[in-house]
Amino acid sequence: MCADNTSGCIPTDFMCDGDYHCADRSDEDPEMCREHICRPFKLKCANNVQCIYATWRCDGDPDCADDSDEDPEMCKKTCLSGNWMCADNTSGCIPTDFMCDGDYHCADRSDEDPEMCREHICRPFKLKCANNVQCIYATWRCDGDPDCADDSDEDPEMCSQERK
């Protein structure tokens, strides 16, 4: 029930969510919201007066008035061994085998960044293309299907020597 008794009732989930639902704005009263306990599927923002859905935390879109749901330290993710964190720190982790393979796996495309890929060392079962920014499986060389962006894995001279 809104404090003015004229706006009617609002769902409990609407209290302290950062949006006014009562005409008198009593559903967002800071004093009341400090005491308000968030529902189990929600979390309280650092300002201690707002509840947001837990799934909104670290989604790249600030929902808390104080932006605490997107705090870089809190949102910093870690990857399991054999995986690599995309540079934007929100796209998640990709297997290291997917780095510098010519296909984008990170939303920010950081897994194909030319600077990083020039420094990237291919895994033992992969080889670096002549462009020096892409790794492909060694078995893909001279298979009749260009896999390197520069087609260097199907270089006629190299492939004719390999077939000898």
Shared-domain flag, residues 87 and 133: yes
Containing H/E element for 73?
Answer: helix 72-75
Shared-domain flag, residues 136 and 155: yes
Q: How confident is the model at residue 163 (pLDDT cuts 50, 70, 90)?
A: low
Shared-domain flag, residues 66 and 89: no
In a domain? residue 44: yes
pLDDT at 7: 67
Strand spans (E) along 24-134: 42-44, 51-53, 83-85, 93-95, 126-128
What is the residue range of 88's domain?
Answer: 83-162
Shared-domain flag, residues 147 and 91: yes
| Percentage of residues of the chain with pLDDT beyond 70 | 95
CATH of the domain at 21: 4.10.400.10
Going from the C-alpha of 121 to that of each of 57, 124, 145, 150, the distances in angstroms are: 35, 9, 23, 18
Q: What is the pLDDT of residues 55-100, one digit of tens each?
A: 888 878 899 989 998 888 777 777 888 888 888 766 678 898 899 9
Shared-domain flag, residues 99 and 140: yes
Q: Give the range with max mean pLDDT: 86-90, 121-125, 151-155.
A: 151-155
Instruction: Please give the Cα distance from 136 to 99 (Å, whole number).
Output: 10
